[in-house]
Amino acid sequence: MPLIDSGKLVDDAWVRLGDDDALPAADVPVIVSLARFHKDRASLVGRNGGLGIFLASSQHPKDIADHLADFALVALDFPKFRDGRGFTIARELREHLGYRGIIRAVGHTLPDQYLALVRCGVTQVEIPEGRDPALWAHALAEISTAYQVSVAGPLSMARLARHKKTEHAA
Amino acid sequence: MARVTDAPKVVTANRLQDGAVVWLTAAGDWSIRVADAQVQTDASSAEAALGIARASAARQEVVEPYAVDVVVEATGPRPLKTREWIRAAGPSIDAIPTAA
Amino acid sequence: MSPTAAARQIDPPANGLSSHAGIYHYDQVDRDFLKERVEQFRRQVARRLAGELTEDEFKPLRLMNGLYLQLHAYMLRIAVPYGILTSRQVRQFGRIARQYDKGFGHFTTRQNLQFNWIKLVDVPAILDLLAEVDMHAIQTSGNCIRNVTSDQFAGVASDEVVDPRHYAEVLRQWSTLHPEFSFLPRKFKIAITGSSADRAAICIHDVGLIAKRGADGTVGFEVYVGGGLGRTPFIAKKLRDFLPEDELIAYLEAVLRVYNAYGRRDNIYKARIKILVHELGIDAFRDEVEAEFARMPVAQYRLEPAILDGIRTRFASQPYEALEPISGILARARLEDQAFNRWVRTNVAVHRQPGYAIATITLKPAGGIPGDVSADQMDVIADLADRYSFGEIRVTHEQNLVLAHVRQDDLPALWKALADIGFGEANSGLITDIIACPGLDYCALANARSIPLAQRISERFADLDRQHDIGELKIKISGCINACGHHHVGHIGILGVDKKGVEAYQLTLGGSAAEAGAIGDILGPALSADETLDAIDAVVGVYLDQRQDGERFLDTLARIGHTPFKDKVYAAH
C-alpha cells in the first residue's frame, strides 16, 4: 500500500509479518502482532532492522507500555474510518507514554482525517492503491486554525489562548 | 432490509445532486413521478431492475436504490407503506406555515 | 434615560452585526477558520459528485457538516451556538429560505434551524451565505461533539447564578473540529446552565453542566454524565459536585477519552455514553475518568482566567436604560386588554434589569407546525428584535423564540406586532405549546408522522380559556424511538410506532425535563391518531376532575397515580 509521510509519498521499507511467517533478513524492519511479539520477543528484539508492533483498534496502549523502547514503529489499525479509537490511542502514546517513534495509521482512513491524525501524533498513513496522494498533501494545509491543544501543535490552549490578549480591533 | 414479499415492486432512490425522490422507468432512467415507475411482478425482473439502479448509483446519479412494494391502480403504482407513499406524494402537511 | 455608559459594542454596525446582541462576536481567526471550513466542504461535495468519495465515505463527512439525506431532499441543520442569534443572522436565514428552500425554516429541539428542501449542489453556496454572518452547520450531526446548548434566558434570568454563555462559547471553540473526538462511537451532546431552574434540560444530555459558585464565590461546575433519551432513556448521573472552572476543558477531555476508548462500537443502539456509564456503573466510570484526569498534563489544558476574560470581552452587553421597576404602560395595557394580559402571564418572564422583561415568541399558532417560521416572518422578527431587543433573538429547546431584553413599556406594541404575523398566541408552557420532531413527513428514520398529530391536538385545544384553565402541560411528540421530540420527558409523551405497517402512537405520562428530570411511564397499548386525540382529551378530563387547589397536571398525576388515567383512556377498548 502506498505510504504517506508529512504529506508526501515515501517508500515503505517495513514488512508486515504474519504470526507464522519466517523472519526475513536481519536488516529488514518488520511489523508484528502483539501475540507474535510476546512469543518471539527474544529473536525479534535486537535485530538490525527495526521492530514495529501492530495494535488492533480494540487493543490498548497499556498493553505495550512496558515494551515501548523495543519499538521503532507502532501501527494503529483503523478497521473502518469511522472507528476513531486510533485517535485516542495515538495521543495517549505521545502524551502519556512519551513515545517518540513512528506511529503509522493502517487500514481505512480518509484524506479528510489526515490532519486530525497528525495532530493526534500519527506520523505515517497507508493509503489505498490508486488514490491521488495530492489529497493528503492538501489536507495538511486545508484548515490552518486549531482551537485545541494537540500533541503536534502548541502546548497551550492553542487558539483558545489567543483570547488572553484582548483583541477588540480584530 | 425489507422482507421479501410477493407484492409487485418498483425501484426507487434519491437523486444525488438534489436528493429528489426518483423512480426507475421502463427505459432504465429515473423519473420524479411514481406513475412513471416500471412495475416488476417477479423476483428476477425486480433483481434486474435493481442491478440497473445500482449501476446508476455507481455513476453518481442516485443514492442507495431499493425496491418497494406497490399496489397497481388505474393511475399507476401506489406504494403500500406509509413512508413510501409520503416519499411518492410529498409531505402530508401544508409545507408552508399557516400565518405567513 | 441615557444608555448605560459601560455597555459594550464589539463591531461597528457598518460591519453588519447587530452590535449589542449578547453573543460572542467572531474575530478574524474565527472568520478565517470558517472560510477554510467552507472550502473544505466545497471540495468534499465536488469529490462526491466526481465519484472520488463513495456515499459510505461521504455520509459521515456531510453529517459532520449538518447535511442529511431525508425522504424528499437534503436537510441542512444550521448551528445556533447556545441558541443566540442576531437580527442580521435571522434575515440571512430568510434569504436562504427564499433562495434555496421553499420559503421557510424549522427551529429544532436543539436550538438549531433546519432547512428541509436543500439540494446538495447548492450547499457550498449556502455555507458561503452563512459564513457572511458568522454562521455554519459544523457538528450539528455526526458522531462528534454537537453544537452546545444552554439556557435561553442566559444572562438575563432573575434566578441566574453564573452566566453560562461564556463557558458555552469556550466549549464551542474547544469542540470545533476536535482532532481526537470527531469519530466517536456516537454523537455527544453537552448542555450547560447557570441557574437554579434548569431550562436547558441538562439531565438528558451526554454531559450536563451546572455552573455555580463555591463558598468563596469562585465558579465551578456540577458535572452530570450519561443522560439521554432514545431507545434506552436515562437521567444523567452526577460525576463531580464541584469542578473548578479552570479544569473544565481538561476534565471534559478525560470524559471524552474514556468514552472514545471504551464506548461500544458493535451496536449503534448501545454506543452512547449513557450505556457505557450504565454498564460500568457511575462509580467505576468516575474512577476511569479521574484516573485519566490525574495523569493528564493538566497545565496544558488549563482554562486560564485570562482566556475567559478575553472571551467575555467579545460578548456585547446591552445598553439598558435606567427604568422604573414597574411600568405604568404595561399595567394599564394588562387591565384594558384581557388577551394581552393572558399573553403576559404565559409568555413574559422576569428580567433582572428593572423595567425590562423577557418575551417568549411561541412558534405554535393554533393548528400550525411547531417550530416552522416563514421567510417573511423571519424578517418581521428580525425587525422586532432590532426595535425592541438590541437586535438579539434566542431559540429555545421547546422550539420557540425569545426576545430577551424588552422594555416593559414596549410589550403591548411587541405583542400586537407578533399577533400580526400569527405568533401572538398566549400559550407558552400550555397544552398547545407542543414539541414535535419532523416525523415521517420528512425524516428518513421516522415510523410515524408527528406534525399532523401536533396540528390536530393544537386545533382541538385551541380555545385559550380552556388552555389557561388546564395550565402547565407539556406535550412532546417523537416520530420514532430516537426521541428528537423528547417524548420521554413530556408531561404527556407521544411516541410514533409502526404497527404492522400502520402508524400508531404510544402515550407516556409523567415525564419531565425540569430540574431532577423524569422519564414518563407508558400508559398502555398504542393507539391510532384519532384515538390518541381522544385519549389526550380523556387524560385532561381526569386531571380537571381530580385536581385540587393549585395542582398542576404533574402534581395531580403524582398524587393519584396512573390508574385513573389509564382506566379512562382505555375504557372504550
Please report residues of C whose CB lies closer than 8 A to that of B84: none
- Looking at residue B1, its pLDDT comes to 42
Domains identified in chain A, total number? 1
**Do residues B9 and B47 make contact, with C-beta atoms less than 8 angstroms apart?**
no
Which pLDDT value is given to residue C73?
A: 97
Distances from the Cα of C433 to the Cα of A164, C80, C473, angstroms: 43, 21, 9
- Cα–Cα distance, B85 to C13 (Å, whole number): 49
Of all residues in chain B, the one with the smallest CA distance to C121 is B17
Report the CATH number that the domain containing residue A16 is assigned in CATH.
3.20.20.70
Question: Residue C7 has what pLDDT?
Answer: 58
Q: Is A9 within a domain?
A: yes
- Higher-pLDDT residue of C271 and A155 is C271
Model confidence at A167, pLDDT cuts 50, 70, 90, reads very low
Distance from C-alpha of C146 to C-alpha of C237, rounded to nearest angstrom: 20
What pLDDT is recorded for position C377?
Answer: 98
Whether residue A57 lies inside any domain: the answer is yes
Rounded-to-integer distance, Cα C239 and Cα C255, Å? 10
Whether residue A158 is contained in a domain is answered as no
Cα distance between residue A17 and residue C397, in whole Å: 54
Query: Which of C49, C52, C71 should one mutate to test binding to chain B, selecting the residue with the greatest count of B CBs within 10 A?
Result: C71
One-letter-per-residue 3-state SS of C195-244: ECCCCCCHHHCCEEEEEEECCCCCEEEEEEECCECCCCCECCEEEEEEEE
| Residues of chain C neighbouring A157 (CB-CB closer than 8 A) | 249, 300-304, 307
Q: Is A22 on the interface with C (CB under 8 A)?
A: no
CA-CA distance, A79 to A86, in Å (whole number)?
10
Inter-chain touch C372–B64, beta carbons under 8 Å:
no
Distance CA A82, CA C143 (A): 9
Question: Which parts of chain C have pLDDT scores under 50?
Answer: 1-5, 11-18
- Name the 3-class secondary structure at C32: helix
What's the pLDDT score for residue C299?
A: 86
Q: Which residues of A88-125 are buried (b: 16+ CB within 10 A; e: fewer)?
A: bbbbbbbbeeebebbbbbbbbbbbbbbbbbbbbbbbbb
Residue A4: pLDDT above 50? yes
Domains delineated in chain C: 25-132 (3.30.70), 149-313 (3.30.413.10), 328-420 (3.90.480.20), 435-569 (3.30.413.10)
* Residue the block writes with cell 423571519: C378
| Grid cell for residue C95 | 434569504
Per-residue pLDDT reduced to its tens digit, A42-85: 999 989 899 999 999 889 999 999 999 999 999 999 999 999 99
- Candidate from A116, A142, A167 with C-beta closest to C27: A167
With cut-offs at 50, 70 and 90, classify the pLDDT of residue A99.
very high
Note the ipTM here.
0.92
Q: Nearest CA to A143 among C57, C40, C181?
A: C40
Q: What is the pLDDT of residue C14?
A: 38
Contact at CB, B19 and C121, closer than 8 angstroms = no
Q: In which domain, by residue range, is A41 found?
A: 3-145
CA distances to B68, B88, C113 from B3, rounded to whole Å, are 10, 20, 36
Who among B21, B57, B82 is closest to C440 (CB)?
B82
- Residue C4 has what pLDDT? 41
pLDDT average per 10 residues of sequence, chain B (100 residues):
74 98 97 97 95 98 97 94 93 58
Chains touching A, CB cut-off 8 Å, 3+ pairs: C
Phi-psi map region of C506: left, alpha, beta (phi>0 left; psi -120 to 50 alpha):
beta
Q: What is the average pLDDT score of chain B?
A: 90
Closest chain C residue to B19, measured at CA:
C73
Contact C446 B83 (CB under 8 A): yes
Judge: C182–A84 Cβ closer than 8 Å, yes or no. Answer: yes
Share of chain C above pLDDT 70, in %: 96
In chain B, domain spans: 9-89
